[in-house]
Amino acid sequence: MNYEQARHNMIEQQLRTAEMLSAAVVELLYADQRENYVPDAYRALAFADCAIPLSPTAAMLTPKLEARILQTASLKRSDRALEIGTGSGHMAALLAEQAQQVWTLEIDPALAERARRNLVNDGVANVTVEVGDGLAGLPASLASHAPFDFILVSGGVAEVPAALLAQLKIGGRLLAFVAPVGIAPVMKLRLVTRQTETAYSSLDLLETDVPMLQSAAPTERFTF
């Protein structure tokens, strides 16, 4: 398979037609080796517009969603980012290309170990993978790194966890795939910005469908 041609087709045919991508995001995606994070059985689909299975309960985000996240995050090289739901490690690798440091939590130890191998093999040195349930709050190993400039919840949740909102810097942004209880199957990609110590704004960007994170039961509700 010609991965370079497939990468070009993905960017020019899937992404440019769907998003107003910045030059920086386009450059990043051309340099990115997405195929290195795809399980061998699905490598032929590395650049297809589909969610690639990683386990019975997890899948890679589609290229369109990855591009939209990068565009919305608009990270700076000085930024520190946190991801909940590591999966293959690919989204963390993309964030790491723009940020200073990325910490990512994965509840499944086998997926976390696979992600570590993928990142090492891809030469990504500024991502730290930890095992844990990020929706339950940050482990002690990460608490000292908060607050973060950007937080990504890379899977479905019933609502945005208040514990993660508290870990945002003022001016920081959080993206989460929110599927409110009682109105499934609607799921929205929600952007939350921390405006002050106590005030947050919220904007729903699009409707989509991604796997729910493990332990993604309703959490303490936060009122915007």
What tens digit of pLDDT does each residue of 35-73 get?
Answer: 999 999 999 999 999 999 999 989 999 999 999 999 999
Q: Please name the fold of domain 3-208.
A: Rossmann fold (3.40.50)
Q: Taking all residues of the chain, what is their mean pLDDT, rounded to a whole number?
A: 91
State the CB neighbour count (10 A cutoff) for residue 159. 18
Tell me what percent of the residues of the chain surpass a pLDDT of 70.
93
What are the residues whose beta carbons fall under 8 Å from the beta carbon of 60, sequence distance 6 or more? 37, 38, 51, 52, 54, 87, 88, 90
Question: What is the residue-wise DSSP string for 162-222?
Answer: HHHHTTEEEEEEEEEEE--TTSTT-EEEEEEEE-SSS-EEEEEEEEE--PBPTT----S--
Q: CA 201, CA 116: separation in Å to the nearest integer?
A: 34
Instruction: Quote the tokens at residue 12.
Output: 């020019």
User: What are the residue ranges spanned by the domains of the chain?
Assistant: 3-208
Confidence of residue 153 (pLDDT cuts 50, 70, 90): very high
Confidence of residue 78 (pLDDT cuts 50, 70, 90): very high
